[in-house]
Structure 1
Amino acid sequence: MGGKITYFFLATVLVLVFGVVAMEGVLLLLTGEPAPMGMGAVAFLLPCVGAWFLWQNTRFARSAQRLARELEAEGGLPANELVRTAGGRIDRDSADEVFARRKAETEDAPADWRTWFRLAVAYHDARDTPRARKAMQRAIALHPSLRLNRRRSRGRG
């Protein structure tokens, strides 16, 4: 629950900053001089781009959370089988072993969103965030009831 509150708080602060930057952009546009008008246009566009990224990230997080809840209800969430050091860090050899199993599982059933979800968790545990995100995006695209992301998955051959 703490993560959701933090995310909501930071997203709210970001939206407020977007508003301030957009207002400054409008004020610069109203000066009538070319250089400030150009800076005002850019200052007005930046919050639009930032809002789009915030929306995409929020949609991704909500979809991933929905998959996690569904997989938990099915009893299919991966068990925490990783060995940890005394300091609480994940042992590299343990993460590699779990990752190898998850990868083989995904190769055996590439059309199952559940295997891609578990592979994303394994990538995350191995601290490979870009691949974890791509695997989670694949899981979301394969899930039959998440229509928001179907458009994107259709475009990829």
Structure 2
Amino acid sequence: MTTAREIMNTGVQCIKEDQSLLDAARMMRDLGVGSLPICGQDDRLQGIITDRDIVLRCVAEGRDPGAMKAGEMSGHLHWVDADDDLSHVLRTMEENRIRRLPVIERHRLVGMVSEADLARHLDERQIAGFVERVYAGR
């Protein structure tokens, strides 16, 4: 049984909930990523922010990314436990149509599963099914 721990990217960095969206955008640029987990002062996962969130929910609405805080972007959050099996990871991503999934262990963020991680661990048929279910109707 393959677990989330075995396929996740462990090099995940959080943006603190009181940091600005400008800080988040710069972190994404510097790290070469399209999303960041949002962590509270207790280092627990509070949400996730994407580059698309910054554009659509801040910039396009004429808000100041230097003044808006990452914590304001928190919405409904999905995650998996580090020991959850790959089928649960896939099901969670497909049912919620998400492309990045935080991995938690003992209430702390330990990694992130992305489409690229799935591509390295699934066969072509599984990847095609994932893409169809996640992107259908978008």
The alignment's TM-score, normalised by the length of structure 1, stands at 0.25
State which structure, 1 or 2, has the greater radius of gyration over its C-alpha atoms: 1
The alignment's TM-score, normalised by the length of structure 2, stands at 0.27
Between structures 1 and 2, the one with greater strand share? 2
